[in-house]
Every structure is written in C-alpha cells, then in structure tokens.
Structure 1
C-alpha cells in the first residue's frame, strides 16, 4: 500500500472517529431561529444573504413550476427534491410541523442541530464562560458535537486529534448543492431538472461564493467578521478545488445525460488545472484518483503545514470585487 493511500485511510478513520455515533442518532433540523440567541451576529449576516432571501420568492418564479413538474411534484415549497438544497426542512417554531420553512440556513452547512445544539456551546459546569473552558473540556465538547452530527466550520490546531481534513468536509458540503451532486439526487432526476431549465453553474468557486455576502467569521467576538488572510485564501481555494473535482467525478457516474455530464466535466477540468499548479504529491495523487480519501490527504497536508500557496495559486483567486 502506498504512503499516500495509508495517509488517506488514516484520515478517513480519524474523521470517522470524530463522527462516531452520528448516524445512529436521530438528527433533525431545529431551524435557524434556534441558533439566533447565541449566534446573533451570524444570524444577522444570514438574514441579508440570497440563501435567506430566496425563500421569499424562489417558488414564485416560472422555472420553479417547470422544474417541480418535470420531477413529478406539484409545489416547490412542498417538494422533497427541492427541499434538499433550496430550503431548511424544519418547524417554524419548536414542536411545530416540519416543512420547507426557511431558506438554506445554519444547519444546511453545519448539520442538523437537534443532537448537538445543547452540546457545542457549553463550556463546562453551569456558569462557565468561554474563556474559562479547560483544554480537556474543549476537546471533549468538539468531539461530542461532531459525533452528534455537527460539521465544524474549520480545523482547529489547538484541538487534539481533530482531523485537519475537517475543512474538506465543509467544502464538500457546499458542492453537494452548488454542483447538483448530492448523493440523494439521482441522475435521472438531475437530468429532468436540467432539461426544465434548472441551472448548474460549473464556475462555482469556493472563495468567490463564501467570502462575500455569506462570510460570518465571528471567531473571537460578535463584532469582528474576520476576513481571510492571503495564505488562508490560498488554502481554502485549493480545498474547494479538491472538493469540486471529487464531486464532479462522482456526479458524472450518476447519468449519461449530455448536459449534466458536460457541466461536471467543465468543473473537473478547472479543478485539475488548479491542482496541477499546487505541485504537491498529494495533489498529483488526487488528480490521478479523485477520491475523497485523497482529497482529505491533500487538505490535511496544507492545513497541518500551515502552507501559504499564494505563490502557486494566487493568480487564480478571485478579486474582492468578484465576491458574491
């Protein structure tokens, strides 16, 4: 077994340990309003994004009727297919009826919160403040929240055993929807959606779409929404390209539909060009075999090494004026 393959398997195992028990628990969305009290600044950012705003009118567009009809459903707001990406399927109020009641929100990215909402921000015995949390408790809190289904937004080098590939899981989740590549979306349905006019943007790029309106990096306070440094942007860009390549390659296996396959090929081609520029054995291994394990190995390498890849991919990064 090659060294890179061993690394990939080790990372997958580590990630699995962090997520142990997640599948066994009944995880459900609680809705973004349940996150508001503790994450007010993040909630305010979300309210002004297309993710939140689209809920108000996306179902009124002509294309909505065409697409839902094409997949054999009557209403976008009641559609199981559309609900996977365009909505948060949650009760409007605690204990209420579950439905497509919000646009894409907190749990669309961080995972259904029913099992981790009372874990992820508890810093110790009642009354313990964040700054007083012990390192041991912090590590346990992160692990327990992950096991309960939470997708942490970034890798933390101060959390022992936290897999550095966490950032890949975040990026991969974005491409689930923005690449029409969800495992739960079968190829025939995707083909029908495209034929009815549903867009598939092969130019979706992680930096451009995550560092503009939707950026909510309130890591140290609820007043400073931190921008990424050039080095951070370079790592995030490569992470996005890794996720895009894996998702595109997997998506192409869903169907032989020409339009769908062409869009995924375009995504894959852009990703390969970017990854070639990285010039690392892990990137070459990913290009040769676009698997999630190989992507995790690359992402872990660049984050654990705190690498600045600006000199290699800086020219490919979008300017701030291009951010969405």
Structure 2
C-alpha cells in the first residue's frame, strides 16, 4: 500500500466502531495483561473524580467527564461494556485507542488462511493480503515488516502520530476555542512528551514472536523510534499552531517544535532537513520510510537525546 493509500485507510477508519478491549483478550492475553496495569487502564477508575476534571468540564459546559464527547476523544474508549452491551465511555484508553477501531479488521488481522490454518503455515501471499486488508479496514500496525510488500515502511509514523494526537492536544477534532477553555481551566499540556520514554516503560507490549517474551528495543530500534516520534511531534506542533493564538497553547507547541527540530537536525539526513523546512505528514513519512528501509542505526547522532531507561514512564 502506498503512503497515500495508507493515509486514506486511516481516514476511513474514523467511521469504524470500537469493539472493546475484551474482544482482543482471547488472542492477545499477554498484551491485555500489560494494559490492565497501565495508567491508560487505571485512569478510568478515578480520573473523573478529580477536582481538575470538574473544573475542565465546567469550563466546557459539560455535565461530567465520562459523558463528555470532548474528554472521550482521549481519556476513554467508547465501546460496549460487554459483548452486545451498552456503548458508552466504558474503558480508559485501550487497544483500539492505539491500533484503531476494530469492528472491520478484528476478523481479518489474525486469520491465517482457510479454517484451521496455523500462523506458522500462512502463505506469503495470504499474509500480504491480510496486512493490506486489515490496514484498509482501519488497523494501525505496531511495526514495519520487510517481508510484506503491502506494509509501508512509513507505517510506524501512524502509530507515533496517534500518540501525539492526545498527548499534544493536537487532534483535528479539538477546535481552538475548546482547547483554550481547557487550558484556562488548568488542563495540562506536556511539551516534553516523547515517544520512547512513554512507550517503552509500563505500556511496552512487544509480544511479536511469543506471548511469553516482551523484548526491549535494541539501541538501533530506539534511535529509529525516537526520530519517528520527533517527526510526528514536529508535524503535530506545526498543525496545532495554526489553530489558535492562545498563549499557553502556542508556548507549548513552540517548545515541542524546537525540541523536535534539534533532534531531527542532529540526524544530518536530507529528509530531516526537508521536514524541518516544511513540516508536513508527507515529508515526515518520507523520513521515517528512509530510516526503516535502510535499517539505520542513528544512535551516534541522537543517542545522547534518548531518555534514560530509569526515566521511562
């Protein structure tokens, strides 16, 4: 699938529906067990009870955080509370918050061939078709696979971009007036959010080859993921700055952009320089595609900027 096709698939996914994390549990039990103990899952229990939640919802004219469409975009998963159950903000950020609403791809992405076909017996042709159809149905895959022609090398960008949608208050659906009201009421906006730091700690779930092994990234993988995150951060900050002139929002987004530019400049890559000059998704994807297709190890260039493992969230 081309980069353009991947973006169209992502847009189409907005019309899909969440099925809920329990629908993922049977096949992805290890990942589910990790998620259950993360702030993403735990926050659902009490975030709406905090004083700040009342201040923000009051500023928005909303009755409660759990019933707010605005808050639900990032703080909840709107899904049935059980198979066939009531659809509401029934979970915190969960599987589909990151991998896309699953109603269309859930019965595609883990079917390896005719009934009874095991994963290890899947044909290369079927695997390629499965990845392509799952992506078109709205799934964001967590890694690039060299052996699958349908998997775009820039696809890790989509994962990073999705994180910054919420952690940078940069969703397209969050309008400037609403963002300003939230910030004035004390809603946090963390310009220091960084992809490696927040993805490789409590939320790490890299059970790609086995449900018992959750390997850490190698230094080379960390360097690529760090640069991918900085590319997404710069594009999101640039887009967010077009929304409003609210002082807090502008200051935070400029801080994000400055950090991203410094990291990208350090790579010395022409694609990074092009992205700095014109922060568009197309240029960000070109950079990410290059560093993954060429299997780059950028540790020498950006290693000093990577967070210490002890600082992982």
Q: TM-score by structure 2 length?
A: 0.98
* Structure 2 Cα separation of the partners of residues 177 and 61 of structure 1: 19
Distance change (3 Å), C-alpha of 1:76 and 1:240: same
Contact 1:217–1:225, Cα closer than 8 Å, also in 2: yes
What runs of 5+ residues in structure 1 fail to find an aligned partner?
Answer: 1-9
User: What's 1:279 paired with?
Assistant: 268
User: What's 2:169 paired with?
Assistant: 180
User: What's 2:58 paired with?
Assistant: 69
Contact 1:232–1:308, Cα closer than 8 Å, also in 2: yes
User: What's 2:69 paired with?
Assistant: 80
Contact 2:6–2:135, Cα closer than 8 Å, also in 1: no
* Structure 2 Cα separation of the partners of residues 62 and 239 of structure 1: 35
Give the counterpart of 1:171 among 124, 140, 160.
160
The structural deviation recorded for 1:14 is 4.6
Where do residues 245-260 of structure 1 align in structure 2 (5 Å cutoff)? Answer: 245-260=234-249
Deviation by residue 1:222-255 (Cα, 9 ceiling, x = unmatched): 0000110000000000000000000001001111
User: What's 1:123 paired with?
Assistant: 112
User: What's 1:134 paired with?
Assistant: 123
Q: Secondary structure at the match of 1:120?
A: coil
Distance change (3 Å), C-alpha of 1:284 and 1:26: closer
* Structure 1 Cα separation of the partners of residues 71 and 192 of structure 2: 21
* Structure 1 Cα separation of the partners of residues 13 and 210 of structure 2: 34
The structural deviation recorded for 1:25 is 8.8
* Structure 1 Cα separation of the partners of residues 5 and 273 of structure 2: 23
Confirm whether residue 111 of structure 1 aligns to residue 100 of structure 2.
yes
* Structure 2 Cα separation of the partners of residues 15 and 100 of structure 1: 28
Distance change (3 Å), C-alpha of 1:313 and 1:149: same
Q: Secondary structure at the match of 1:90?
A: strand
* Structure 2 Cα separation of the partners of residues 13 and 190 of structure 1: 29
Confirm whether residue 321 of structure 1 aligns to residue 310 of structure 2.
yes
The structural deviation recorded for 1:27 is 1.1
Distance change (3 Å), C-alpha of 1:269 and 1:233: same
* Structure 1 Cα separation of the partners of residues 246 and 117 of structure 2: 56
The structural deviation recorded for 1:98 is 1.1
* Structure 1 Cα separation of the partners of residues 65 and 127 of structure 2: 41
Give the counterpart of 1:152 among 119, 135, 141.
141
Confirm whether residue 27 of structure 1 aligns to residue 16 of structure 2.
yes
Contact 2:13–2:100, Cα closer than 8 Å, also in 1: no
Q: Secondary structure at the match of 2:12?
A: coil
User: What's 2:6 paired with?
Assistant: 15
* Structure 2 Cα separation of the partners of residues 200 and 139 of structure 1: 39
The structural deviation recorded for 1:15 is 2.4
* Structure 1 Cα separation of the partners of residues 20 and 76 of structure 2: 10
What runs of 5+ residues in structure 2 fail to find an aligned partner?
Answer: none
CA RMSD of aligned residues (A): 1.4
The structural deviation recorded for 1:11 is 5.2
The structural deviation recorded for 1:24 is 8.0
* Structure 1 Cα separation of the partners of residues 276 and 243 of structure 2: 20
Contact 1:11–1:165, Cα closer than 8 Å, also in 2: no
Which moves more between the two structures, 268-277 or 90-99?
A: 90-99
User: What's 1:192 paired with?
Assistant: 181
* Structure 2 Cα separation of the partners of residues 163 and 249 of structure 1: 24
The structural deviation recorded for 1:135 is 0.3
The structural deviation recorded for 1:162 is 1.6
Q: TM-score by structure 1 length?
A: 0.94
